[in-house]
A and B are shown apart, each in its own frame.
Chain A
């Protein structure tokens, strides 16, 4: 199986930003996105800005609450559930379009998925008023873990160490704080700052944002992601009453207004204390933006409407939804701008 091709190139290469073959394409939309990590000490909020190439793209024949069945026997692999090489299923059309879930079991003609989407609440495929229908298209894509994306041993892409204060770290938002993982050069595997043993198989969920912290003395570094350009609506579960860190998932810059998620779910407007908000990392802190009742995007850091502020591919974005959401409202989705 081919995982997302990720190249880490240290030093100054010529291209920056987006390299995509086309913004409108009826062919297989493939491309590359490059992200620069500044020299240390620095923290970069990022995510995987492009999709792995799918191994299967089929319509749903039938379904249950958490299982999708396909016609024939299209799944050649007997096991899509290896923790070291996980797979995700993503809806490309229908009510659940854009939604990606971990494959927890499979047969040759079905996949069972984690319908919690890394939240505490399931969203079943047969949810009344928001059901999957036969014919909705689904793709199966290889996922990533800390070990597959950032390497291990001699293939380690960032710098390991004996503790999380010396090693470069990759941190994931757990709803309350960022939890740092680092490659322990003594133990020979990735481990959380909270311990817990071998963390090589820690999932890097599609659409999620994370922090890469480079410690002092590390040079600037470029990460190049090769893969497939999304050509479907985004769809990220966010059950509200909390913040979630996601990634700007498209290979082109999008304006801040993209994150109103007008196509699905939607972000509320109001004041700085009542509106849902979108926060961007400035290198040392999150700068928050919210929409007022006139639809203007405002921030304490700048004057005027910031709705046209461009957010680069692969940028992590913190989304605060102030109230809890269920059903279809718990999915945030927006159409591609191309």
Chain B
């Protein structure tokens, strides 16, 4: 009995892991032969994407994954058959170095989670909703995030992005409903064209602005001193 009580408190990481290998080359999620172990992943599984190509969702409904991990160098496309959607739980997304993940089906989060994008690339081409909780997303130099799908008014959660170095975040489909719920390095986000940026400059930008201000003050000061000479 105590054993069962203990099991109920296991963290998300304790969910079963299924590795996508697409051994039958039919791209079908519902084909057990495409997975290791060779069974169709149960709800709340941890999905490990081990090969490049299309992973076709064909359940005819929504599928809930606890987490998604993409191996280094792998480029994967999550494509729907019909009106399938993906619900992502507390395990979040982890992308290996040089990998790319593209969601062509709608994605909805169901719990707070941490996503590690790093220097990889992730694209949401369909509807993307954070509801509820907070998605804490970390990105690093060379990484990119592309929100290409339509804006959703149903966000009830927050997307908190932290990053360093040179990275890009585009949000073609976003409007204020989404942008108001996004922060970048702790600052509210805003749209600069299709690019999502921090509304308050980061420390490095502050230093540049301070230097520019000092330069302006210096020039003005020299002009003041020069004025009497000009009047001669």
Within 8 A of B (CB), among A240-297: 281-285, 287
Task: Pick the contact of B152: A171, A216, A282 (CB < 8 A).
Answer: A282
B108 touching A163, Cβ below 8 Å: no
Within 8 A of A (CB), among B131-153: 149-150, 152
Closest to A216 in B: B104
Q: Is A41 at the interface (CB under 8 A from chain B)? A: yes
Closest to B104 in A: A41
Closest to A44 in B: B83
Q: Is B62 at the interface (CB under 8 A from chain A)? A: yes
Most buried by A among B54, B81, B106, B125: B81
Q: Is A149 at the interface (CB under 8 A from chain B)? A: no
Q: Is B59 at the interface (CB under 8 A from chain A)? A: yes
Contact with A along B81-101 (1 / 0, CB 8 A): 111110000000000000000
B232 CB, min distance to chain A CBs, angstroms: 69
B150 touching A165, Cβ below 8 Å: no
A43 touching B80, Cβ below 8 Å: yes
With contacts A41-B125, A284-B129 taken as known, whether A171 is within 8 angstroms of B105 at the C-beta atoms is no
CA distance A332 to B125 in the complex (A): 38
CA distance A169 to B60 in the complex (A): 12
B26 proximity list for chain A (CB < 8 A): 163
CA distance A43 to B154 in the complex (A): 17
B192 CB, min distance to chain A CBs, angstroms: 24
A249 CB, min distance to chain B CBs, angstroms: 21
A-B residue pairs in contact (CB < 8 Å), sample of 19: A41-B125, A45-B83, A163-B27, A165-B27, A165-B79, A165-B81, A174-B60, A178-B61, A180-B60, A180-B81, A180-B82, A215-B79, A282-B127, A283-B152, A284-B108, A284-B126, A284-B127, A284-B129, A285-B129
Task: Pick the contact of B54: A41, A165, A176, A285 (CB < 8 A).
Answer: A165
Closest to A177 in B: B60
Q: Is B118 at the interface (CB under 8 A from chain A)? A: no
B126 proximity list for chain A (CB < 8 A): 41-42, 283-284
CA distance A287 to B80 in the complex (A): 20
B104 touching A171, Cβ below 8 Å: no
Closest to B129 in A: A284
A138 CB, min distance to chain B CBs, angstroms: 34
Closest to B26 in A: A163
Main secondary structure of the interface of B (DSSP, over half): loop
B80 proximity list for chain A (CB < 8 A): 41, 43, 165, 213
B105 touching A41, Cβ below 8 Å: yes
Known interface pairs A177-B61, A282-B154; 17 further A-B residue pairs with C-beta atoms within 8 A, sorted by A's residue number: A41-B79, A41-B105, A41-B125, A163-B27, A164-B56, A164-B81, A165-B56, A176-B60, A178-B60, A180-B60, A282-B152, A283-B150, A284-B85, A284-B106, A285-B108, A287-B154, A301-B154
Most buried by A among B56, B79, B85: B79
**B-to-A contact residues, CB < 8 Å:** 26-27, 54, 56, 58-62, 79-85, 104-108, 125-127, 129, 149-150, 152, 154
CA distance A12 to B149 in the complex (A): 20
A5 CB, min distance to chain B CBs, angstroms: 26
B125 proximity list for chain A (CB < 8 A): 41, 216
Closest to A179 in B: B60
With contacts A41-B105, A163-B27 taken as known, whether A180 is within 8 angstroms of B154 at the C-beta atoms is no
B154 proximity list for chain A (CB < 8 A): 282, 287, 301
**A-to-B contact residues, CB < 8 Å:** 38, 41-43, 45, 163-166, 169-171, 174, 176-180, 193, 211, 213, 215-216, 281-285, 287, 301
A282 proximity list for chain B (CB < 8 A): 127, 152, 154
CA distance A45 to B125 in the complex (A): 19
A165 CB, min distance to chain B CBs, angstroms: 4
Most buried by B among A176, A180, A216, A284: A284
Task: Pick the contact of A177: B59, B107, B129 (CB < 8 A).
Answer: B59
CA distance A285 to B153 in the complex (A): 13
A165 proximity list for chain B (CB < 8 A): 27, 54, 56, 58, 79-81
A169 CB, min distance to chain B CBs, angstroms: 5
What are the nearest 5 A-B pairs in CB distance? A284-B106, A177-B60, A171-B82, A284-B127, A165-B56
CA distance A163 to B28 in the complex (A): 10
CA distance A282 to B81 in the complex (A): 18
A213 touching B58, Cβ below 8 Å: no
B83 touching A213, Cβ below 8 Å: yes
A164 touching B58, Cβ below 8 Å: yes
Closest to A42 in B: B126
A43 touching B54, Cβ below 8 Å: no
B83 touching A43, Cβ below 8 Å: yes
CA distance A285 to B127 in the complex (A): 9
A215 proximity list for chain B (CB < 8 A): 79, 104
B27 proximity list for chain A (CB < 8 A): 163, 165
A211 touching B82, Cβ below 8 Å: yes
Closest to B62 in A: A285
CA distance A28 to B61 in the complex (A): 41
CA distance A45 to B106 in the complex (A): 14
